[in-house]
Amino acid sequence: MEKSVMIDKYARLAIESGINLKEHEGLIISTSIHGLELARAAAARAWSAGAKHVEIMFNDEELTLARYENGKEYVFNEYPKWKVDSLIAMYEDGYHHLFITSANPELLRGIPEQLVALDQKTSSTAAAPALKYRMTGRTKWTIVAVPSPAWAAKVFAGIPENEAMDLLWDKIFEATRVTTDDPVKAWRDHDRRLKQYVDFLNRSDFAGFRLKGPGTDLDVGLATSHLWVGGSKKALNGDPFVANIPTEEVFTTPHKLRVNGTLKATKPLSVNGRIVRDFGFTFRDGKVTDLYAGEGIEVLESLITNDEGASYLGEIALVPDSSPISDTGILFNNTLFDENASVHFALGRAYPYAIHEGSDKTTEELVSLGANYSLIHTDFMVGGPELEIAAYSQDGSETTIFRKGNWAI
């Protein structure tokens, strides 16, 4: 099938299943030049669905790099308030947000880590009021990905650029179920399957989990009133939307202070234009007390010192090792895909909607239930064929949840 046809199917999936755009709603599309073809197709789909307006926001890797290489020091201590204000104004006016990503995993490899960390902290602090709209479900949003030459070269090293790009397109289409006759129906069916695990975990109301695997021996208590979520989520207006395409996870909120033991990553992490490899953490009473990495330890050190909550966990997500993305056998070097091939955790902020009625609670109320608050939310992967997970109840009884990396229920 021609790529243009596949891209139109991908656009339909993003608008109908991802955003679930309704008549008289607005749409923001954030993209780079690599996503322009998909952005155009998504805009056309949005207009057909009854959008009142489509606003395109462009970003560019070369401009990002030029800013780091040439910007004066004060550039990284400031963030334009008008950008945040305009985003909030659009969210308030019923706009929803489609992110088309095509990140270069090592774009900032040559940039001093302290500068990247400062910039990340400045921008995340400034953008926090806008982020709240997405974190609470007031604004519907979804993230999809398209290839870029740098990303394709990282995944398919040594292959000519055009071939690598085509291969990555193929793998993205497979992972997102765009290759099916009707991707929207395929996602409805997939969502139904994920909800079966969500329903079981919520009925069981486990108190915590114990994970064991090579380099991992971790006890994770769950937050009071935690809620398992997976697949589509409901916005505050009741509309379901899918925040990540693809998604294979069901997730909830760990208790900030009830995490103890060791945790070893099983896949590299791409964060802030850097790659971190062969890394792991030690937790005591929820906080990272030690860490190691074969490459990129300075990235981790900057990450967990971003703010007070950055050294605590905000998410535990269960993904079988036999997920469609894992079955590709490919390391995507992109968290959107790699996190859906593996059980993972996130350092930093918990999602309010992964707490019962959490979207209606204040930050203070969420924290009192054990949810972590931070300006960051960074996923890292710990799953694999040797991972064993047992859930335990308040009375101490245990249920095997994962055996050899896959669901055992």
Query: Comparing C-alpha atoms, which of 244, 173, 254 is closest to residue 206?
Result: 254
Find the angle CA(150)-CA(156)-CA(159) to the nearest 5 degrees.
95
Q: Which two tokens stand for residue 270?
A: 């791409």
Q: What is the arithmetic mean of pLDDT over 276-283? A: 97
Instruction: Return the half-sphere exposure (C-beta side, CA atoms, 13 A cut-off) of residue 244.
Output: 18
Q: What is the pLDDT of residue 329?
A: 82
Q: What is the pLDDT of residue 367?
A: 97
> Each residue of 82-94: pLDDT tens digit?
999 999 999 999 9
- Which residues, including other chains, have CB under 8 Å from residue 281's CB and lie 6 or more apart? 262, 263, 288, 290, 291
Rounded distance between C-alpha atoms, residue 389 and residue 401, angstroms:
5
Q: What is the arithmetic mean of pLDDT over 76-81? A: 95
Q: What is the arithmetic mean of pLDDT over 55-79? A: 95
Q: What is the arithmetic mean of pLDDT over 30-35? A: 96
Q: What is the pLDDT of residue 316?
A: 98
pLDDT surpasses 90 at 136: no
> Each residue of 171-219: pLDDT tens digit?
999 999 999 999 999 999 999 999 999 999 999 999 999 999 999 999 9
Q: What is the pLDDT of residue 326?
A: 85
> Each residue of 210-255: pLDDT tens digit?
999 999 999 999 999 999 999 999 999 999 999 999 999 999 999 9
Q: Where are the domains of the chain?
A: 3-175, 205-407
Q: What is the arithmetic mean of pLDDT over 155-181? A: 95
Task: Check if the beta carbon of residue 399 is closer than 8 Å to that of residue 204.
Answer: yes
Q: State what percent of residues in the chain have pLDDT above 70.
A: 100
Q: Which amino acid is at 256?
A: K
pLDDT surpasses 80 at 102: yes
Q: What's the pLDDT band for 26 if we cut at 50, 70, 90?
A: very high
Cα Rg of the chain, angstroms: 20
Q: Which residue has the tokens 């959008």?
A: 51
The least confident of 229-243, 282-296, 318-332, 343-357 is 318-332
Rounded distance between C-alpha atoms, residue 185 and residue 197, angstroms:
20
Q: For residue 347, give the 3-state DSSP assignment.
A: strand
Q: What is the arithmetic mean of pLDDT over 277-293? A: 98
Rounded distance between C-alpha atoms, residue 48 and residue 282, angstroms:
51
pLDDT surpasses 90 at 335: no
CATH superfamily, domain 3-175, is Thermophilic metalloprotease (M29) (3.40.1830.10)
Q: Which two tokens stand for residue 19?
A: 């955003």
Rounded distance between C-alpha atoms, residue 240 and residue 3, angstroms:
28
| List of long-range contacts for 287-295, beta carbons under 8 Å, 24+ apart | 287/311, 287/312, 288/312, 288/347
The distance in angstroms from the start CA to the end CA of the chain is 38
Q: Which residue has the tokens 């694999």?
A: 384
Q: For residue 350, give the 3-state DSSP assignment.
A: coil
> Each residue of 248-275: pLDDT tens digit?
999 999 999 999 999 999 999 988 788 8
